[in-house]
Structure 1
Amino acid sequence: MGPKKWLTATLAAGALASCAVPNQGTALPAVTVAVPPNTIVIQPPAVAAPPRTVYVTPSVPVAQTVIAFYDAINRRDFLTAWNLGGQRLAKGGTYASWSSGYATTSWADVTVRSVSGNTVYVDLSARQTDGSLRTFSGSYTVSDGVITGAKMKRLS
């Protein structure tokens, strides 16, 4: 296994606008998974979010855009998330409507499964403020550092 680079980030976020905004949720234990070679492991500090682990292949800018999108949502920096692709995901909706769509999401755990060209394949788990968990799988399309589309399917 190659060397690991450790980054610190907090990734509590909403899955999609329909899943709402991070608030407070039930903390879960960190997930331990075998890390593929040449992988960056992001482990957020225990600050307002449960311990989460996200894996992303390094030096793949399109995957880094998706991670940055969720990091911005986690920090409640909705303007940055809007500029990273929220505007495209809102499909003509307003910033206020899109950002308020995250009102019932406590956090989201996003795992980048793979990247093919400008398509980032992810699994997403979003803990809701009522304690329920919504899971999604699908992809984001990224162009010039901005998410331009999403094809996500809700699994539960």
Structure 2
Amino acid sequence: MGWHAQKGEHALAAFGVTPNGLSTEEAAARRAQYGPNRLPEPPPRGVLVRLRGQFANLLIQVLIAAGLGTAALGHWADSSVIFAVVLLNAAIGLWQEGRAETALAVVRSMLPNEASVRRDGARSRIPADDLVPGDIVLIEPATGCRRICG
């Protein structure tokens, strides 16, 4: 049976936690043992990798094949126009992707990075990086946005 279907008492016992939550000392010991609650940052994609991705589209590959075909037939004007369209598309795509990555970084920096937990029998807000296995995380409805399911 998955964790989502377990009784609360079973989950507490499995992690060695009381209903009052972890003590500050136990949380510090678990953080030292398991490390921070943080995913590794993906390495930034270089310009050449992003540029190569612009040519992964099937339609762009068909245009490249058409450009090569028209060049092989000696239709240099048609071939030049096709390759100009392909290169312009790649440049615009590369520019838009760079702007999107910048916008995503700004949005990430604006997101709150805290969690409500029960520790030492009291509710407290801690940085999400300080969450450890066994923390009782208190879930709250989103501010100003409540949904009724059913």
TM-score by length of 2: 0.19
Question: Larger RCO: Structure 1 or Structure 2 (Cα < 8 Å, ≥ 6 residues apart)?
Answer: 2
Greater helix proportion: 2
